[in-house]
Chains A and B, each alone.
Chain A
């Protein structure tokens, strides 16, 4: 990515200064970013530059996958004037996947993202030790280690560098209290024109070839191996699935918070999947017992079929599960296989069609063999 903007000040302050200047300079209509107020963390849509002071754009918490929110913002119409959004790579990637499903529009967004260190599980928001955990988190960032405090999905995330961002905040191997470094591409540069910012050329790359990111990627792969080996998903079969998903209470919250599950009415909540009394009667005769409501495993496998090609591994599903099923580990583990099969990386290229919406003749041959 092109150029570098550097301030000698705490990273979040620097970013907020940049946002303020853009908003006051009339380059933006609004800013979309995270805010923490008392024990609540939520995304905000800000018009008044003064309100930016209350925001916490880099706080490593994700109350909602913002991709879902940007879809809601632009579902009816695209933006007429620019809005800057500060979101994590998996949120931006999810938004791109939603665009491919015609659930929003990319027009007039200034995408600001970051070289992401992951987020803490949301139940940390209300806990007293949040500050201690944040200190440890940023200490790991400085030392280019995967923070222990993050979601399991983040520990094994291998897409922590954003695709399609116009500006990228990088804080790995730096002291976040001293330096603010923001990489800017051509689109980003256009926004900064005439505001008096000084852009430098840089040798640092923002890809997995760059030494520090290469090392991080290796650590994440190691984590993934360890985590997946402890579950051995490929050996589960039906018995394994029943063991893991048996305690599911059928709240379908994993689907509700999933950025890829955009359906108004989930297939598995439709009357197609309700048993008629006669079905219960037949099944009861056959099996001696039927779980009520039925179709617990079917729901999870079905959702897996629907979302795995686009799963960005954000970990929202696991965070909200009331009975602590390792949903995100299962989903990202399997999704990686599915995505590998089609050589597809969700969120990477907006022009690349969704594999399941394209027909390639040679894929048919593979099946015939």
Chain B
């Protein structure tokens, strides 16, 4: 892994030096060495501290791109290096008008998964070591559960939109450059590099792995179902939620400045609360924990990329990401929609199709 990271860093340095781009958006190790933060940089010294493939997702990359571009186009060209789930969320945010990708070269890579943020915070050095030994092992046990069940870690068969993908699977430490857009091709030729022509090994191995992970996903989702199917089970699962809303605030898709579920609409008089308490003898206070989670689900499930940032952050260890993955998969299937697949594919809820109307009537 370390060799790979320094090779990528070398490439990115060249991109800066040759003025292929003006700046880079990359995870950089923070001064205390105990985490990574996204940094937009053009300074070589900062680039040395950057890690294009960090062991954790501290901040979801889509949030970083959105912070850079949600108020309009940048007046300089950048390239960024992201995990597939971060790139996919970025595409979704662009569709939601929360990011502008015109001047951004989105580079992705075959993702080995990420390690739990809490684990990293406790023992950064150990986790760094664990992660550095990960490359080449695409079915590792040390990664987060949501990563173990991820079937979109490589972009074989146009799995998701990216400008340039770097294939690693089945290539014995070699990188395969796979441009997917004109922007990607231009970036690559600016570096004097050619796109990989023989992708047979990568494709074969990738498809095998996807199949395995897809099965794993189904298996883990089935295991979780008893805890989430039906209102009683769901209430019990979310009973320990303390309403801190961290799942929402770290979610790349939940972009609203002010969440509906924290708005005046859901603030009531004492009588309203007492009437509800009267009905069942007593209520959890604040009530409506489940309403929040179900509501959030309704708002973002179609675009949920299963990045796991919510679950990583939850102080009560609720399996938020895994639960949301079940709903996300089902809703996305219903609309034949894959979040992050294509930038010009509209969000299903923003288009009207007459035949859908008929389905409802039947």
Is the CB of B294 closer than 8 A to any CB of chain A? no
Is the CB of B140 closer than 8 A to any CB of chain A? no
Contact across chains for A269 and B257 when beta carbons are under 8 A apart: yes
Q: Total A-B pairs in contact (CB under 8 Å)?
A: 216
Chain A residues in 8 Å Cβ range of B122: 324
Contact across chains for A293 and B64 when beta carbons are under 8 A apart: yes
Contact across chains for A289 and B74 when beta carbons are under 8 A apart: no
Complex A-B: 17 CB contacts under 8 Å: A30-B277, A40-B239, A42-B284, A46-B281, A69-B285, A73-B285, A80-B270, A126-B240, A246-B30, A249-B58, A256-B246, A277-B68, A288-B45, A292-B38, A293-B64, A294-B67, A323-B121
Complex Cα distance, B34 from A76, in Å, reads 44
Add 13 more A-B contacts to A46-B282, A122-B315, A253-B245 (CB < 8 A). Answer: A40-B236, A47-B278, A76-B270, A246-B30, A247-B35, A249-B313, A252-B249, A274-B70, A275-B67, A289-B41, A289-B42, A292-B39, A322-B121
Contact across chains for B282 and A274 when beta carbons are under 8 A apart: no
Q: Which of B23, B246, B257, B273 touches A45 (beta carbons < 8 Å)?
A: B273
Contact across chains for B35 and A322 when beta carbons are under 8 A apart: no
Contact across chains for B75 and A281 when beta carbons are under 8 A apart: yes
Known: A265-B258, A292-B64, A294-B67. A246 touches B277 (CB 8 A): no
Chain B residues in 8 Å Cβ range of A256: 244-246, 249
Is the CB of B243 closer than 8 A to any CB of chain A? yes
Count contacts on B: residues with CB < 8 A to the other chain.
Answer: 70
Chain B residues in 8 Å Cβ range of A246: 30-32, 34-35, 37
Contact across chains for B315 and A320 when beta carbons are under 8 A apart: yes
Complex Cα distance, B29 from A243, in Å, reads 11
Chain A residues in 8 Å Cβ range of B17: none
Contact across chains for A242 and B31 when beta carbons are under 8 A apart: yes
Is the CB of B141 closer than 8 A to any CB of chain A? no
Is the CB of B51 closer than 8 A to any CB of chain A? no
CB under 8 Å from chain B, chain A span 280-299? 280-281, 284, 288-294, 296
A-B CB proximity, top 8 nearest:
A288-B43, A48-B281, A246-B30, A247-B35, A40-B239, A289-B41, A40-B240, A46-B282
Contact across chains for A250 and B282 when beta carbons are under 8 A apart: no
* Contact segment of B160-168, B188-196, B261-269, B351-359: B261-269
Is the CB of B325 closer than 8 A to any CB of chain A? no
Contact across chains for A30 and B316 when beta carbons are under 8 A apart: no
* Contact segment of A31-39, A129-137, A346-354: A31-39
Chain A residues in 8 Å Cβ range of B117: 249, 322-323
Known: A45-B282, A46-B277, A251-B246. A74 touches B69 (CB 8 A): no
Contact across chains for B250 and A277 when beta carbons are under 8 A apart: no
Contact across chains for B277 and A47 when beta carbons are under 8 A apart: yes
Contact residues of B with A, CB < 8 Å? 23, 25, 28, 30-32, 34-35, 37-43, 45-46, 58-59, 63-64, 67-76, 117-118, 121-122, 236, 239-240, 242-246, 249-250, 257-258, 262-264, 267-271, 273-274, 277-278, 281-286, 312-313, 315-317
Complex Cα distance, B63 from A277, in Å, reads 15
Contact across chains for A251 and B242 when beta carbons are under 8 A apart: no
Task: State how many angstroms separate the Cβ of A65 from the closest Cβ of chain B.
Answer: 10
User: What is the chain B residue whose CB lies nearest that of A243?
Assistant: B32
Known: A74-B270, A256-B244. A288 touches B67 (CB 8 A): no
Complex Cα distance, B269 from A269, in Å, reads 27
Q: Which of A41, A270, A274, A284 touches B40 (beta carbons < 8 Å)?
A: A284
Chain B residues in 8 Å Cβ range of A37: 239
Chain B residues in 8 Å Cβ range of A44: 282-285
Contact across chains for A253 and B246 when beta carbons are under 8 A apart: yes
Known: A122-B316, A269-B257, A289-B43. A72 touches B286 (CB 8 A): yes
Q: Which of A30, A47, A249, A257 touches B244 (beta carbons < 8 Å)?
A: A257
Contact across chains for A281 and B74 when beta carbons are under 8 A apart: yes
